[in-house]
Amino acid sequence: MNGSRFAGARGWPRALGRIGLQAGLAALGASVLVWAMLPLAPGDPVDMILAARRIEEPTAAQIAELRARFGLDLPLWQRYLHWLGGVLRGDLGLSWRTGEPVAEALLRRLPATLQLVGLSLAVSVVWSLALALIAVRWAGRWPDRLVMAYTRVFAAIPAFVLALLVLQFVVVGLGLGRVLSGGAGITLVLAAVVLGIDRAAGWTQLLRATLAEQMARGPADVARARGAREARILAVIALPPALLPWLTALGISVGGLIGGAPVLETIFTWPGVGAYLLQALSVRDVPVIQAFVLIAVLAYVAVSSSVDALALLIDPRLRAPREGRA
């Protein structure tokens, strides 16, 4: 036992180093794919810039100035290195539509979006954890059937449909429509609950299945033979190992939370990046789209790496070298 603990402690730096290396490689690969959105897009980028600015009859001087300003006259590899160097310095390029630095525009809007995503994530985690524990605690009885019915229904309903229903029956029906244009707290709560409940459905199904599996295994049977209560077995013995796949699914879904936030921001008129991103999409403002996708991907990489590190803390066996685990 002591040797296993020593091996696990010794494996901490190696395991964390492996996670960091994987995160770095994933971020580098993501940067290549995000940057490739521009050269792989059909048409001449200059034409897209002119269309975004609604310039119908450009002069040769305007075209040459735009090519030089956005680095479109450089070879592809130099354009990538120039773009990557700018990203590392916090420079996400200039908006084709307005000419404004994208980083400045996003920094004004990102805090509101991060509020929405953070509150939605908290709602999803608490809601799915509570429902899964309730379902397994009363497995086969009406609370379990009610939870499973919820997961089937809400897993099939897109978040924007649920948002429209909330607007119709909760906001308008209850007379709360006056708060929507002001970015009030109730708007944040409604949008976060909609996004959180939508994401929690799939997480609840996964956690319930893994909890039920752990409740049927040997350690739970031993605890029952010793007279432990079912609630204690569920919380102390079954929950910790069942959290590992649940945390993995949570980390994978963070990118979806960030990607789904702009749609709900537009529906609830929350002052985040939603309207800004939709305007960029409507005129094919590639630098803005690139920046948002890059932020979403990097957030996914960061959260996934954090989940992997948390898994090392929950399960010491993951910290041991492979030969020690064998």
Give the model confidence (pLDDT) of 223-254 as tens digits: 888 888 888 888 888 888 888 888 888 877 77
Q: Which residues of the chain have pLDDT under 70?
A: 1-12, 41-43, 171-185, 315-326
Distance CA 163, CA 292 (A): 22
- Using DSSP, state whether 57 is helix, strand or coil: coil
Contacts of residue 306, defined as CB under 8 A and 6 or more positions apart, other chains included, come to 251
Residue with tokens 């945390």: 247
Alpha helices for the chain (secondary structure H): 2-35, 37-40, 45-52, 60-69, 76-88, 102-137, 142-156, 159-166, 185-215, 218-225, 230-232, 239-268, 274-282, 286-314, 322-325
CA 139 to chain centre: 31
Name the DSSP class of 173.
T
Distance CA 294, CA 288 (A): 10
**Angstrom distances, CA of residue 326 to CA of 4, 15, 154, 289, 318:** 12, 16, 42, 46, 11
pLDDT score, position 311: 74
CA 104 to chain centre: 22
Q: Identity (one letter) of the amino acid at 316?
A: P
Distance CA 181, CA 51 (A): 30
pLDDT score, position 127: 92
Nearest to 194 by CA among 243, 220, 157: 157
